[in-house]
Amino acid sequence: MEQAHFPAIDLPVIASPDVCVVGAGPAGVAAALGAARVGLSVLLIERYGFCGGATVAGLSGSICGLYSSGSQPEQIVFGFAEEFRAALAARGGAGEAIPFGRTKLVPHDSLIWKETADDLLQAARVRMLYHTLLLDVTRADDGGVDAMLLRGMEGLFAVRPRVVVDASGDAEVVHRCGGDTTFGRQGVVQAATMVFRLGGVDMDQFFQLDPRRIDAMITEAHERGDYDLPRHHVYLFPMPSGRELLCNMTRITFPDGSVPSGIRSADMTHAEIAGRRQARAYAEFLKARVPGFSRAYMVDTGAQVGIRQTRSIVGKQQLTNDDVLRGRKRPGAVTHSAWPIEAHGAGELRIQYLDDDYYDIPFEALTPRAIPRLLVAGRCLSAEHEALASARVTAQCFGMGYAAGAACGLLCREPTAALNGPDVAAWMRQHRLRTSTEHD
């Protein structure tokens, strides 16, 4: 390929915080707060103008992963996940938990999510830079990050933190450092979904509908060729206002059935355009065919197509498929999880419940190999393909972020410390931070 040369440049270093958190999704927000609450100075950078990541920009729309799975689901994840749920609920931004198969989830309002995150971060004196993109890093003699190259609205600048938390979802910092990452199962990742909001639905009629009936109607309409509706098991959640539905219905692939990559602009362009078209097709089908939807209208789609999986780091420990299926427990775990393996493949959606059991996410799955002073949090943790299809949901991302942020305090004290779960949990207790596994 033809090459263009850009000369090396010297840039102003605008901040030297204890911690720089990259990405303000659920993991990044929790990481920034965890670090601030152990007394560190924190810079949080985010490419969009709001927090929430896939939860808000992708309209994922609910907190999954708080509850056990089985005939009587109970809350098993607490700590920051519960703090954020309660803060949302106090503002009318989260409803009661509703059934999802053999577990439960908590629908939320995405505007109130943004406002809640802004307020918590400002109250903790986290310095935030929205509309700021991490472009690259330089590495110090110890192999950790020296300076971070950022692109803000005003141009290029640098920051020089002591510790970095990569909460980009895409393991962007680890990748820029040259750290090892994996990409799905032999390069195949889960399919993307364009989520959309629907207004004007007769909610009384909606609550009378059996979701399996909607799935059957979609299958029939697709097979008859009336509509192009490739996904037949769909999720429709009432939003906390009680007046709109969140519609997680689409499945975005290329015409040959392959899955667009969430880290390639050309693939994402296809996914955004195809996602909006497919969302419109599902909305038209609902309006035309399903009782209670005749006056329905599309309010909006997500600000971006929802990406479930890109790079995962190669960590000191990996969360394996077997760990999830056998309910492996770990001392000092970052969080419990009983969310099913919810694998959105290119051709099918497979959901496997962990009935009456749960597994633990180890802290060491947040620690990239051979890069000091760098932790990850959220969906780019070190995990096998199916394990990630369970561990990636919001409650677990909150737990990972909070622990990673708090652990930065240990790294600021001793940059070469080999951190482990029990030490991090003890450090959090020392600073009165609740881990996800603790409650009254």
Ligand X SMILES: Cc1cc2nc3c(=O)[nH]c(=O)nc-3n(C[C@H](O)[C@H](O)[C@H](O)COP(=O)(O)OP(=O)(O)OC[C@H]3O[C@@H](n4cnc5c(N)ncnc54)[C@H](O)[C@@H]3O)c2cc1C
Q: Which residues bind ligand X (CB under 6 A)?
A: 22-28, 45-48, 53-55, 58, 60-65, 133-134, 167-170, 172, 193, 195, 248, 306-308, 378-379, 392-394, 397
* Comparison of 14 and 417: residue with beta carbon closer to ligand X: 14
| Token reading at 6 | 């850009």
Q: Are strands 42-45 and 127-129 parallel, antiparallel or unpaired?
A: parallel
Give the C-alpha separation, 93 to 79, whole Å. Answer: 19
Name which of 263 and 325 has its Cβ closer to ligand X.
263
Alpha-carbon dihedral of residues 403, 373, 168, 400, nearest 10 degrees? -10
| Residue positions counted in the chain | 440
- Identify whether the C-beta of residue 196 lies closer than 8 Å to the C-beta of residue 247: yes
Minimal distance, residue 404 CB to ligand X, in Å: 11
Nearer to ligand X, 19 or 54 (CB): 54
Characterise 268 by phi-psi region: left (phi > 0), alpha (psi -120 to 50), beta (else). alpha
Nearest distance from residue 132's CB to ligand X, in Å? 6
Minimum distance of ligand X from residue 204's CB (angstroms): 24
Cα separation, 366 vs 375, in Å, equals 6
- According to DSSP, the residues that pair with 139 across neighbouring strands are 145
Query: Is 53 or 372 the residue whose CB approaches ligand X more closely?
Result: 53
- C-beta of 156 vs 418, nearer to ligand X: 156
Q: Phi-psi category of 149—alpha, beta or left, where left has phi over 0 and alpha has psi -120 to 50? A: beta
Tokens describing residue 143: 């192999």
Query: Residue 214 Cβ, how far from ligand X at the closest point, in Å?
Result: 17
Cβ proximity to ligand X: between 331 and 347 the closer is 347
Rounded to the nearest angstrom, the gap between the alpha carbon of residue 216 and the centroid of all alpha carbons in its chain is 30
- Give me the least distance between CB of 105 and ligand X, in Å please: 6
- Phi, psi at 259, each rounded to 5°: -100, 130
Q: Smallest distance from the beta carbon of 256 to ligand X, in angstroms?
A: 22
The CB-of-308 to ligand X minimum distance in angstroms stands at 4
**What values do phi and psi take at 306, rounded to 5?**
-80, 120
Closer residue to ligand X, CB minimum distance, 155 or 225: 155
Integer angstrom CA distances of residue 116 from 45, 120, 218, 422: 17, 6, 37, 30
CB of 262 to ligand X, least distance (A): 9
* C-beta of 249 vs 296, nearer to ligand X: 249
Pairing mode of beta strands 13-15, 155-159: parallel
The residue among 126 and 195 lying less far from ligand X, judged by its C-beta, is: 195
Nearest distance in Å: CB 134, ligand X: 4
Query: Minimal distance in Å, beta carbon 108 to ligand X?
Result: 9
Of 32 and 290, nearer to ligand X (C-beta) is 32
Please give the Cα distance from 360 to 55 (Å, whole number).
22
Which of 214/422 has CB closer to ligand X? 214
Q: How far is the CB of 71 from ligand X (least distance, A)?
A: 22
